[in-house]
Amino acid sequence: MNQGLEADRTLATPRPGAGFNFRENKMRIAAGLIFAGAVSLLASSAAWSQALPPAKGPAPAPQAAPAPAPPPAPVSTRPPCNNPDALGIGRTVEIDTTGGPGFGFEHFKELDFLRDKEVVLTFDDGPWPVNTPSVLKTLAEECTTGIFFPIGKHATYYPEILKQVMAAGHSIGSHTWSHAALVNKKLTEQQRKDEIEKGFSAVKWALGGKAPAPFFRFPALQHPPEMVTYLGTRNIAIFSCDLDSFDFKASKSQTIIDNVMRKVEKNGKGIILMHDFQKHTAEALPELLKKLKAGGYKVVAMRAKAPVQTLAQYDEDIVKDLKLPTVSSRPVSSVVQTISE
């Protein structure tokens, strides 16, 4: 579980895996709380080479203090698809997140935009060494794409891995700062908002100052109604799911494959919840994607019409928290050179 990596971090984080994904007290909220947003079709049968990096909306207003400079934003290095049998991307849809639309029939029933045999791949709790790069490799081999919901703290631990997610052209949202259960009554309303806002600012920082999509997933799919309303005022879309892989409970990869295929065959389509943080998920993905392809399923890419507008206060908090260097933002390759080995 790579837990040892946590020990020497300056920022304490709950041990990933311990205390994650509790499903008790799951709250189901009325779909009526959500303002409907729009889903628009960008392109049918988008070829891999046509798939675009996350939406290029207007740049967010420069609200944060200018220094220290964030690391440079990644440049897409995605290779062309050379796999004629790849799962690929069936179509790409653009999401207008105005008013905070909700997706995923487990909680939100209004926006039924997927056609029969269409799926959306989603990955939570990263970025994480080994497992996230493995998921990226599999998605690249299958010339397909997903939405990643990173934890803010994890993004600050492994910004280079999150940059790889963006460089590969996947959509990136956020999954709170520390994976706190936002239904926890011990948290004040302000602390809940902080978890949401700081999560987005951390992801933005990790991406070199490029704001992610206004896509949010609540930890353990627990939706406190007042935070659902708040996200609506922030024009951030909420992602529940249609099919839960329960990969965090699986002791082997085959269980995940069986869970997903059984549910997708029953539902006929859906947003699939998985975790790039989990080793078994990374191991299951090659076979799972082959089975989806063989079953005639098509992956839908969801892009945001415009990036999230982070709040300057939280962007600044991240910089302060991380005690970032203020003198140099040069990349490692320009600072450290191997001169013999």
Binding site for Zn ion (CB under 5 A): 124-125, 219
What single string gives the DSSP state of each residue in 16-27?
Answer: TTSS-S--TT--
143 vs 238 by CB, closer to Zn ion: 238
Whole-number Å distance between alpha carbons of 170 and 175: 16
C-alpha dihedral (290, 274, 128, 58), degrees to nearest 10? 100
25 vs 233 by CB, closer to Zn ion: 25
Whole-number Å distance between alpha carbons of 186 and 173: 26
Q: Nearest distance from residue 265's CB to Zn ion, in Å?
A: 25
236 vs 306 by CB, closer to Zn ion: 236
Q: Nearest distance from residue 36's CB to Zn ion, in Å?
A: 26
Q: Nearest distance from residue 221's CB to Zn ion, in Å?
A: 9
CA distances to 244, 278, 287 from 133, rounded to whole Å, are 22, 12, 17
Q: Nearest distance from residue 217's CB to Zn ion, in Å?
A: 7
51 vs 237 by CB, closer to Zn ion: 237
125 vs 142 by CB, closer to Zn ion: 125
Q: Nearest distance from residue 171's CB to Zn ion, in Å?
A: 17
Closest by Cα among 298, 295, 256 to 131: 256
124 vs 244 by CB, closer to Zn ion: 124
Instruction: Please state whether beta strands 237-239 and 171-172 pair in parallel, antiparallel, or not at all (unpaired).
Output: unpaired
What single string gives the DSSP state of each residue in 183-215?
Answer: T-TTS-HHHHHHHHHHHHHHHHHHTTT----SE
Q: Nearest distance from residue 145's CB to Zn ion, in Å?
A: 20
What single string gives the DSSP state of each residue in 34-51?
Answer: SPP-EEEEEEET--GGGP
Instruction: Please state whether beta strands 147-149 and 118-124 pair in parallel, antiparallel, or not at all (unpaired).
Output: parallel
Residue 63 CB neighbour total at 10 angstroms: 13
Q: Nearest distance from residue 182's CB to Zn ion, in Å?
A: 12
Contact 165, 138 (CB under 8 A): no
251 Cβ contact list (under 8 Å, min separation 6): 280
93 vs 181 by CB, closer to Zn ion: 181
Residue nearest to Zn ion (CB): 124
21 vs 144 by CB, closer to Zn ion: 21
Q: Nearest distance from residue 309's CB to Zn ion, in Å?
A: 24
148 vs 297 by CB, closer to Zn ion: 148
Tokens 């450290």 sit at which residue?
A: 336
Q: Nearest distance from residue 248's CB to Zn ion, in Å?
A: 8
Which pair of tokens denotes residue 176? 């709170």
Tokens 């049918």 sit at which residue?
A: 44
Reduced to 3 states (helix: H, G, I; strand: E, B; else coil), residue 156 is helix
Closest by Cα among 204, 236, 232, 268 to 71: 204
